[in-house]
Amino acid sequence: MRNISLVDLTEQHLILKNKIDQALNKIFSSGTFILGQEVEQFEQEFASYCDVKYCIGVASGSDAILLSLHALGIGSGDEIITVPNTFISTVLPILSLGAKPVFVDIDPKTYQIDPSLLEQAINQKTKAIIPVHLYGIPAQMDLIMKIAKKHGLYILEDACQAHGSMLENKKCGGFGDIAAFSFYPGKNLGAAGDGGGIVTNNKKLAEKIRVMRNIGQAKKYKHDMLGYNSRLDTIQAAILKIKLKNLDQWNAKRRKLANTYNKFLKDLVILPPKLDTGYLENFHLYVIRVSKRNNLLGYLYSKGIKCGIHYPIPLHLQKPLKFLGYKRGDFPIAEKMAKEVLSLPMYPELKKEQIEYICKHIKKYLRVHE
């Protein structure tokens, strides 16, 4: 069997190639590559998909978080609560704005922020909570929102892995004051390069960010505020518009593949969390847990099966965050997960036979080594 990657985007491109070629030809003939109709249309369609009023296209998911925090007025001396088991882009923007990330541990049943630990992390300086819907599993937004409301805190959802994930029939990204999405190629909705989106129901925030992402320019050469050059490329918007139409179908395929994995791996490894009713995940990643994870990863690699680790080092132990003063042992659940999690290949075009092959090798390895 041919090598199996963690994510393979080639087949998906073949399916959409004609539509994408046409859209790109149109843009090249128009000679207009910044903002314009394609970006506006995608923004409207993605807002409507998320069932929120506004979407602003930006240059990346990292920028979506940065501009959201900036627009909320986060700055020096403020504290922002989030989790240590996420991609570093959840917290780098906090540091860029001179604010301080404060970590709380995760719930071992959901792998998401543990709402019961939130209140002890809140103080006078706390301004916002960033729940991350990690792997596309919705965080417990009902409990988180109750606490945020009680303490007057903003909620910025890091929905960079949660396109189309739902909680009680409501899409992730529609719960907080504002939410950040990434359209990095490997995300469930991915561009052909970097891209990001901010969604919100708050008109003032939306208007502010629309100016902010365009170098603070409300009208040409009239700058009303400090800003960023962080626009979603016209070309990327056109591609995303085409792909958005397939997102629900692709997510459904991912869920089906996850079920197939579950069947084959039952009783062999710790399967992805079984969620309460009302939760619908998008399986951005299919993550199992095993002891001796690194050895299994190496074995599968030798069989041409490329897995991933999301993420091997919790953020409180990463070099640029050492100055915060956290130490090993501070977040035992996130630290344990970092040693055990293994992301198996997952993308909508993955075949059942490939999953069978992957699981056969996991079984083989575990038989010999457990």
Contact residues for ligand PLP, defined by CB under 6 A: 60-62, 86-87, 89-90, 132, 158, 160-161, 182, 184, 194, 196
Q: How far is the CB of 147 from ligand PLP (least distance, A)?
A: 21
Q: What are phi and psi for residue 227, nearest 5 degrees? A: -145, -170
Nearer residue to ligand PLP within complex by CB, 90 or 343: 90
CB closer to ligand PLP, 61 vs 174: 61
Cα–Cα distances (Å) from 325 to 100, 266, 274, 329, in that order, read 12, 40, 34, 12
List the one residue out of 129, 111, 222 whose CA is nearest residue 175: 129
Amino acid at 305: I
Nearer to ligand PLP, 136 or 362 (CB): 136
DSSP string covering 31-52: T--BSSHHHHHHHHHHHHHHT-
Shortest spacing between CB 37 and ligand PLP, in angstroms? 23
The least CB distance from residue 132 to ligand PLP, in Å, is 5
**Closest distance of CB 22 from ligand PLP, Å:** 26
For the CB of residue 299, give the shortest distance to ligand PLP in the complex, in Å.
27
CB 182 to ligand PLP: min, Å? 3
Q: Output 62 or 68, the one with its CB closest to ligand PLP.
A: 62
Position closest to ligand PLP via CB: 61
How far apart CA 250 and CA 244 sit, in angstroms, is 10
Question: Cβ 9 to ligand PLP, closest distance in Å?
Answer: 15
Q: Nearer Cβ to ligand PLP, position 191 or 296?
A: 191
Do 237 and 39 contact (CB within 8 A), yes or no? yes
- Residue closer to ligand PLP by CB (options 90, 214) is 90
Between 131 and 227, whose beta carbon lies closer to ligand PLP? 131
Considering only CA atoms, give the Rg of the chain: 21
Q: Whole-number minimum distance, CB 303 to ligand PLP, in Å?
A: 27
| Closest to ligand PLP by CB, 56 or 355 | 56
Phi, psi of 181 (to 5 degrees): -120, 150
The HSE-up count of residue 194 (CA atoms within 13 Å, CB side) is 9
Q: In the complex, what is the shortest distance from the CB of residue 134 to ligand PLP, in angstroms, rounded to a whole number?
A: 6
CB 361 within 8 A of CB 299: yes
Environment class of 242 (CB within 10 Å of its CB; exposed 0-12, middle 13-18, buried 19+): middle
Return the number of the residue (89 or 354) whose C-beta is nearest ligand PLP: 89
Dihedrals φ, ψ of 187, to 5°? Answer: -75, 165
The CA-atom distances, in angstroms, between 40 and each of 34, 55, 125 are 11, 9, 37
User: Do the Cβ atoms of 181 and 163 come closer than 8 Å?
Assistant: yes
Residues 2, 351 contacting (CB under 8 angstroms): no
How many degrees, rounded to 5, is the angle at CA 104 between CA 71 and CA 96?
35
| Closer residue to ligand PLP, CB minimum distance, 90 or 140 | 90
Q: Please give the sequence-ordered ranges of beta strands (E in DSSP) within the chain, or none if there are none.
A: 54-58, 79-82, 100-103, 126-129, 154-158, 166-167, 170-171, 178-182, 196-200, 217-219, 222-223, 279-280, 286-289, 341-344
What is the closest distance, in whole angstroms, from the C-beta atom of residue 219 to ligand PLP in the complex?
29
